């Protein structure tokens, strides 16, 4: 089982430290997203990178539409990895939906996590007037999925047929793999639904693990109001508004991302030693 | 900007990692109906539709950063008027004088977009139909399975009923109706050929006395035991039946007079020898063997006459019809 999990989720462990630091990618890509940030923590941490089942170089045979119909299936991936590597009190760093997946995992088994660091988290993308503004109307999200369909997932069957009918042209597969972070289109559609149409606002109050919210300026996906909302509901949460714009500060502003995470971890370590 | 690029038959736009528009050519500006100063220095979001803004963050930016190129990506631009312009976009990440630029070219695909939308719609409908068809086939399969189960149940039930209908409840032997049918089919089967057929009719002697003396329960037990004994004595192809009351019958296919008498005598002897508890029990037997011109009823009446003769002759004996004096 342990070995299976490590292969299933394409788990990669590096770093010289003993304390585990788990990096969880968001929707649409894989562990490569952490390429500019994760190495900075290898000196002091045991750095753990992985792909969710259905993403990156995970084992697609392990994918089940039922298990991964909502984010709890993905949270189970995280807990399985903790179990396989015997992780306790980890620093969990999640991007976007990866943060919510971490939240769900931490509710299920808080002993695995010491801190949650969340980049651009959103517990609910849909607006829920009058009190909650997720930033999206239903039509917006349907438009997004429509755009995914036009780009890739809508043509998946045709593309795979083209590939199967042209075994002498392996470059077709190569191109396809490169074109969308090798995400399987069926999985992509279901992951998109699980991500964008979920509402985990009620789960926030059950989080006991302290957290840091890294909010980007001008993020079209997770607006500032959402970051502030999370900060107000999550107990023991810290909030930092980044200079970084967009939704991928770990790619666009890796230095700032690294600095804010390091500062936070240092401050809580100091606090702990003061208290201890 | 190079004039040829400025007026090239494709849009050109260069972005930094903050997604700020650094350069944009005239072709693209006029497509969007903006002035240069309105877009230069602005965030790319200005010219993206709602869905494209999200898509840009989810796909374009990670790809250009991690793979340093984007090929044939469909997104929609938003003109100054708000009008959506579907475009196809290629991009590459280039370093110039120590800085990184995400250079993009694009061209409108209005008509192609319409074709593809139509194709996607058709595909979705086909998928939907296929799903429905699959579901219907599954439902049909389920119904078929149910039907098969019901049919099997029915067959089993019929088989049970058939057995009940031809079985004598008390002794478990065949009943009179079944005996009649068996006799007809045995005769039909053998009468044409050279195979002989014999019939034994057996009656328990003084059965009324048993009932009167020991009660009907005992009488029933005697009948049951007689049935068991008869079953034991009969061969595989023989048909043993309760003929009625205390009377039993045994159809003996492929059996001539000599053999029939041997069997009849053995049964009579076994009944006499058996331990019946409170009183001794014997039977009288009448035998008949099919001869040309016989029918099942003539055969039965011959056997019956023979049985009568055995009774009259003092009971506990076997008589064959052909030995009777006419």
- In this prediction the ipTM stands at 0.82
Q: Where are the beta strands (DSSP E) in chain A?
A: 12-14, 20-24, 46-49, 90-95, 113-119, 211-217, 237-245
Interface touch B57/A248, C-beta < 8 Å: yes
Domain co-membership, B97 together with B227 = no
Asked if A198 is an active-site residue, the reply is no
Count the domains in chain B.
Answer: 2
| CA distances, A239 to each of A181, A223, A227, A261, B240 (Å) | 31, 14, 8, 11, 96
Q: Does residue B45 lie within any of the structural domains? A: yes
d(CA B26, CA B216): 118
Sheet with strand B69-78: strands edge to edge: B21-24, B11-15, B99-108, B84-96, B69-78
Predicted confidence band of residue B119 (pLDDT cuts 50, 70, 90): confident
Q: Does residue B147 lie within any of the structural domains? A: no
d(CA A210, CA A260): 16
Residues 69-98 of chain A whose Cβ lies under 8 A from any Cβ of chain B: none
The two beta strands, A211-217 and A113-119, are parallel
pTM: 0.67
Residue B63 sits in a domain of what CATH number? 3.30.450.20
Residue B248 sits in a domain of what CATH number? 3.30.70.270
Domain co-membership, B185 together with B101 = no
Interface touch A147/B71, C-beta < 8 Å: no
What's the mean pLDDT when you consider all of chain B?
Answer: 91
Q: Does residue B153 lie within any of the structural domains? A: no
Residues of A in contact with B62 (CB under 8 A): 28-29, 33, 181, 248, 251
Residues of A in contact with B113 (CB under 8 A): 150
Predicted confidence band of residue A186 (pLDDT cuts 50, 70, 90): confident
Mean pLDDT throughout A10-22?
96
Interface touch A150/B74, C-beta < 8 Å: yes
Asked if A247 is an active-site residue, the reply is yes
> Residue B310's domain spans which residues?
176-323
Instruction: Answer with the one of B60, B89, B108 that is the final residue of a domain.
Output: B108
d(CA B203, CA B195): 27
Are the CB atoms for B182 and B243 separated by under 8 Å? no
Q: How far apart are the first and last CA of chain A?
A: 37
Mean pLDDT throughout A82-90?
95
Q: Is residue A57 over pLDDT 90?
A: no
Q: Nearest Cα to B289, choosing from B260, B326, B247? A: B260
- Rounding to the nearest 10 degrees, give the CA dihedral for residues A222, A224, A227, A233: -130
Instruction: Answer with the one of B59, B76, B108 that is the final residue of a domain.
Output: B108
Cβ-Cβ contacts under 8 Å between A and B: the total is 85
| Active-site residue, from A219, A237, A250, A253 | A219
Tokens 């999985």: give the residue. Answer: A187
| Active-site residue, from B246, B247, B259, B265 | B246
Mean pLDDT throughout B121-132?
88
Q: Does residue B129 lie within any of the structural domains? A: no
Mean pLDDT throughout B132-150?
95
From the list A136, A150, A181, which residue is nearest B116 (CB)?
A150
Residues 6+ apart with CB under 8 A from B274: B225, B229, B281
Q: Is residue B15 over pLDDT 90?
A: yes
CA-nearest residue of chain A to B71?
A179
d(CA A188, CA A58): 13
Query: Residue B25: its pLDDT value, please?
Result: 96
What distance in Å separates residue B15's CA from the closest CA in chain A?
A: 12
A92 against B279, higher pLDDT: A92
B148-177: burial string, b at 16+ Cβ within 10 Å, e else: eeeeeeeeeeeeeeeeeebbbeebebbbee
Domain co-membership, B316 together with B195 = yes
Domain co-membership, B186 together with B71 = no
Residues 6+ apart with CB under 8 A from A202: none
Residues of A in contact with B116 (CB under 8 A): 150
CATH architecture assigned to A2-134+199-275: 3-Layer(aba) Sandwich (3.40)
Domain co-membership, B310 together with B182 = yes
Residues of B in contact with A254 (CB under 8 A): none
Domain co-membership, B299 together with B190 = yes
């Amino acid at each position: 089982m342990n070995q299976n999990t490590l292969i299933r989720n394409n788990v990669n462990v590096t770093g010289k430290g003993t304390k585990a630091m788990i990096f969880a990618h968001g929707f649409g890509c894989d562990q490569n997203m952490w390429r500019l940030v994760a190495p900075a923590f290898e000196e002091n941490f045991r750095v753990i990178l992985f792909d969710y089942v259905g993403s990156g170089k995970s084992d697609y045979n392990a994918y089940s539409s039922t298990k991964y119909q909502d984010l709890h299936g993905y949270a189970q991936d995280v807990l399985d990895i903790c179990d396989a590597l015997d992780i306790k009190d980890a620093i969990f760093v999640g991007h976007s939906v990866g943060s919510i997946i971490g939240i769900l995992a931490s509710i299920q088994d808080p002993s695995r996590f010491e801190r949650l660091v969340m980049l651009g988290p959103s517990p609910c993308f849909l607006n829920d007037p009058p009190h909650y503004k997720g930033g999206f109307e239903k039509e917006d999200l349907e438009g997004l999925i429509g755009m995914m369909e036009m780009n890739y997932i809508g043509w998946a069957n045709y593309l795979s047929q083209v590939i199967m009918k042209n075994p002498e042209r392996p470059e077709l597969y190569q191109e396809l793999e490169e074109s969308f972070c090798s995400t399987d289109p069926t999985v992509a559609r279901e992951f998109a639904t699980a991500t964008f149409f979920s509402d985990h606002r009620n789960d926030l109050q059950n989080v006991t693990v302290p957290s840091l919210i890294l909010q980007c300026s001008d993020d079209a996906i997770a607006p500032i109001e959402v970051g502030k909302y999370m900060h107000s509901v999550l107990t023991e949460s810290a909030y930092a508004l980044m200079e970084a714009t967009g939704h991928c500060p770990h790619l666009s502003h890796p230095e700032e991302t690294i600095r804010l995470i390091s500062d936070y971890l240092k401050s809580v370590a100091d606090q702990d030693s003061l208290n201890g | 900007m190079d004039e040829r690029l400025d007026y090239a038959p494709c849009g050109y736009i260069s972005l930094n990692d903050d997604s700020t528009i650094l350069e944009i050519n005239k072709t693209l500006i006029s497509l969007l109906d903006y002035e240069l100063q309105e877009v230069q220095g602005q965030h790319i979001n200005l010219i993206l539709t709602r869905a494209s803004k999200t898509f840009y963050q989810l796909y374009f930016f990670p790809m250009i950063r991690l793979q340093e190129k984007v090929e044939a990506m469909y997104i929609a631009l938003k003109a100054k008027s708000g009008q959506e312009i579907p475009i196809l976009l290629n991009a590459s990440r280039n370093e110039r004088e120590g800085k990184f630029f995400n250079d993009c070219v694009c061209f409108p695909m209005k008509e192609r977009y319409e074709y593809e939308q139509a194709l996607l719609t058709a595909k979705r409908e086909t998928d939907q139909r296929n799903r429905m068809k699959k579901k219907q086939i599954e439902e049909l399969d389920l119904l078929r399975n149910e039907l098969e189960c019901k049919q099997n149940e029915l067959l089993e039930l019929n088989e049970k009923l058939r057995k009940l209908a031809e079985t004598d409840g008390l002794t478990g032997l065949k009943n009179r109706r079944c005996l009649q049918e068996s006799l007809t089919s045995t005769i039909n089967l053998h009468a044409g050929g050279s195979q002989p057929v014999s019939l034994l009719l057996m009656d328990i002697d003084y059965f009324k006395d048993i009932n009167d003396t020991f009660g009907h329960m005992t009488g029933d037990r005697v009948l049951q035991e007689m049935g068991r004994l008869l079953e034991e004595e009969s061969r595989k192809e023989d048909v043993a039946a309760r003929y009625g009351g205390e009377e039993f019958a045994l159809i003996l296919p492929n059996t001539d007079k000599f053999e029939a008498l041997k069997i009849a005598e053995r049964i009579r002897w076994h009944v006499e020898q058996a331990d019946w508890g409170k009183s001794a029990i014997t039977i009288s037997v009448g035998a008949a063997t099919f001869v040309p011109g016989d029918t099942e009823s003539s055969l039965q009446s011959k056997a019956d006459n023979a049985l009568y003769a055995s009774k009259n002759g003092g009971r506990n004996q076997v008589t064959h019809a052909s030995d009777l004096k006419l």
